[in-house]
Structure 1
Amino acid sequence: MNKTDRLLAIVLQLQRKKVVRAEDLATLFETSVRTIYRDIQALSEAGVPIIGAPGTGYSLMEGYFLPPIGFTVPEAVSLLIGIDFIEQQFDDDYRIRAQAARGKIEAILPSSVRNETSHVLKAMRLLISDEQDTSSKEKKYLEKIRRAILDERKINFHYAKRLADSEGNHHSVRTVAPYGLVLIQGSWMLVARCDLRQDIRHFRLSRMTELIDLEERFELPAHFNLREYTPLDDRNLRVRLRFNHDIVDKVRESNYHYMEDMEEHRDGLDVVLRVRQLDELLQWVLGWGAGVIVLEPESLRNRIREEAKKMLQHY
């Protein structure tokens, strides 16, 4: 990074954060603290109102803002592809805002950069498969939940569980404090504290119905950070499958989220999976027909055998 680029980057860092230490800037830009001191002095002499507090760091005078000087072609392409993704996967409110952002970005691009960016984008296309396409109901719920998160209000909804509970129920009514939203393999997931379970739980928006906002407020715990949050992995059941050689590529491309390891050898492809309950795997394994054999555990082999007998009775 040359000096001009570094000076601009320093100003942008000061705009993002209230106070920045010289040591942190030196680490970020892979240079010496002494060089950062000289850069700060150069910016001050150029009229940038930087305030320095000994032992604390540097900050910009309140009200000062430096608009972006411009985008390179790769930067513009990255932003416009990101806008395509937002338009396809987010709710209508963000879709409209994304379209407005596209117009602003394209308007400030110099003609040479705009033309080259357009040329690059014509050779790239972001497509979402039918399985990953966010439904209209999900987008509607996405907007309502997003607003509830920002307003720190609880929500209530009916939830369809994929597997029945110990009492045989497939549905339940939940009141939760919504902490955040996560997009996993094309499906939106709500991370929330459930009043019923008195703990953090995950809920797929596609399985929600009758979602309503509540007046009851909640306070997000100070220690909770969605970007750093890692759910407890309680998948303790190990399953080993062997697939025929002729479907190995399809198995790899399935990118099934329970897969943990795989090894190909002369007898086929051995895949190791970890799940909470064997029922989570049953339909997926059956979907491969005679192309897969359950090596372990024996209990899953028995379940597959029972299902095969039931299927045979239909023919």
Structure 2
Amino acid sequence: MNKTDRQLAIMLELQRNRVLRAEDLASLFETSVRTIYRDIHALSEMGVPILGAPGQGYSLMKGYFLPPVGFSAEEAVALLMGTDFIEQRLDGDYGSVTKAARRKIEAILPEPVRGESTRVRETMRLLHAGEPVTSWKEKDYLGQARRAIMERRKLRISYLKKMPEADGNRKSVREVAPYGLVLVQGNWILIAHCDLRQEIRHFRLSRMAELTVLEERFLIPHGFNLNNYRPPEDRHERVLVKANPVIADKIAETCHFYMESTEERKDGLLVQFLVRQPEELLPYILSWGGDVEVLEPESFRLRIREEAEKILKRY
């Protein structure tokens, strides 16, 4: 970033934030504090009303605003493709405003920049190959959950668990305090504190049969930050598989989340998976057919054999 761009960026940051220290700006723009001091001095000489408070930082004089900022073709493409993504993946409320935002962005672009950004966008397209499409029902639940999070209201959900209980039942009704929403590999996940389990749990919106916003309110625990949140590791079951090396790329593409290690041997590729329950791998193992063999655990090996026998009887 050259000096002129950095000084403009400093003004934008000061307009966006009330007070910023020179150290914060230096870290943000990956430069020295001394350089920031020189930039602030140069901006002040140009008439930008920057106030400095010892020990606190810099701020813009109240009431001062920068004139509208133009976009380069690359910046316009980034913004417009961002609206495409939001329209595809977020709920209806955002779906409608993204169209308005797209029109406003295109309206303020100079004709040469608009034409260049159009040409660039024609060479790129957002696709989600292999990822599930966000259904209208899921978008509806997403909107309700998003508003419940903002209003700090609890939710009651009817949820189909991935793996059934011992009695074969998959359906569960929970009351939860929603903390946030995360898009993982095309699936919206609700991060919430479950009243039943008394801990943070993850609920996939696509598995919800019903969702109701309750009147009961809740408080998010002090210090919880969705951006810093990392779920505890709960995968403790190991599955060892011998595979034909020719499908190594297929295994890596479809099961990279579960993969722990691979080892090439003369008789095949050894792949070790780490899962919550071996049955999580069942559809993948079956889809790889005769190119894989489960070695451990023996119970899962027998489970694969049972499924193979059922398939054989069908044919």
- TM-score computed with the length of structure 2 as normaliser: 0.93
| Residue number in structure 2 paired with 1:119 | 119
CA 1:33–1:101: 2 relative to 1, 3 Å: same
CA 1:49–1:72: 2 relative to 1, 3 Å: same
1:113 CA drift (Å): 1.5
- Give 3-state SS (helix, strand or coil) of 2:314's partner: coil
| Residue number in structure 1 paired with 2:26 | 26
- Give 3-state SS (helix, strand or coil) of 1:102's partner: helix
1:195 CA drift (Å): 0.8
- Give 3-state SS (helix, strand or coil) of 1:229's partner: coil
Distance 1:265 1:82 in 2: 45
| Residue number in structure 2 paired with 1:190 | 190
- Give 3-state SS (helix, strand or coil) of 1:313's partner: helix
| Residue number in structure 2 paired with 1:150 | 150
Write the deviation string for residues 191-228 of structure 1: whole angstroms up to 9, x where unpaired. Answer: 00011111100000011122111111111122111111
Write the deviation string for residues 43-90 of structure 1: whole angstroms up to 9, x where unpaired. Answer: 223332222110111112333332552222222211111111111111
Distance 1:99 1:177 in 2: 32
The one-letter code sitting in structure 2 at the alignment partner of 1:195 is D
The one-letter code sitting in structure 1 at the alignment partner of 2:157 is F
CA contact (8 A) 2:131 2:185 kept: no
Between the two proteins, the alignment pairs up a number of residues equal to 315
| Residue number in structure 1 paired with 2:48 | 48
CA 1:30–1:283: 2 relative to 1, 3 Å: closer
1:309 CA drift (Å): 2.6
CA 1:127–1:30: 2 relative to 1, 3 Å: closer
CA 1:265–1:147: 2 relative to 1, 3 Å: same
- Give 3-state SS (helix, strand or coil) of 2:114's partner: helix
1:34 CA drift (Å): 2.7
1:5 CA drift (Å): 0.8
- Give 3-state SS (helix, strand or coil) of 1:196's partner: coil
Deviates more, 1:82-91 or 1:165-174: 165-174
The one-letter code sitting in structure 2 at the alignment partner of 1:42 is A
CA 1:54–1:272: 2 relative to 1, 3 Å: same
| Residue number in structure 1 paired with 2:260 | 260
CA 1:130–1:302: 2 relative to 1, 3 Å: closer
Write the deviation string for residues 4-44 of structure 1: whole angstroms up to 9, x where unpaired. Answer: 11111111111232221112222332333233222212222
Distance 1:234 1:132 in 2: 25
| Residue number in structure 2 paired with 1:228 | 228
| Residue number in structure 2 paired with 1:75 | 75
| Residue number in structure 2 paired with 1:15 | 15
- Give 3-state SS (helix, strand or coil) of 2:197's partner: coil
| Residue number in structure 1 paired with 2:170 | 170
1:265 CA drift (Å): 5.0
Deviates more, 1:80-89 or 1:245-254: 245-254
Distance 1:179 1:16 in 2: 26
- Give 3-state SS (helix, strand or coil) of 2:42's partner: helix
| Residue number in structure 2 paired with 1:312 | 312
CA 1:78–1:264: 2 relative to 1, 3 Å: farther
| Residue number in structure 2 paired with 1:93 | 93
Deviates more, 1:157-166 or 1:56-65: 56-65
- Give 3-state SS (helix, strand or coil) of 2:238's partner: strand
Distance 2:310 2:123 in 1: 50
CA contact (8 A) 2:238 2:275 kept: yes
CA 1:268–1:121: 2 relative to 1, 3 Å: farther
Distance 2:58 2:124 in 1: 41
Distance 1:108 1:161 in 2: 48
CA 1:130–1:67: 2 relative to 1, 3 Å: farther
- Give 3-state SS (helix, strand or coil) of 2:260's partner: strand
1:288 CA drift (Å): 1.6
- Give 3-state SS (helix, strand or coil) of 1:126's partner: coil
Write the deviation string for residues 140-181 of structure 1: whole angstroms up to 9, x where unpaired. Answer: 110111100111111111111111224442111111111000
Distance 1:285 1:220 in 2: 40
CA 1:36–1:81: 2 relative to 1, 3 Å: same
The one-letter code sitting in structure 1 at the alignment partner of 2:198 is Q
Deviates more, 1:81-90 or 1:30-39: 30-39
Structure 1, unmatched stretches of 5+, are none
Structure 2, unmatched stretches of 5+, are none
| Residue number in structure 2 paired with 1:107 | 107
Deviates more, 1:121-130 or 1:59-68: 59-68
| Residue number in structure 1 paired with 2:275 | 275
RMSD, aligned α-carbons = 1.9
Report % sequence identity: 62
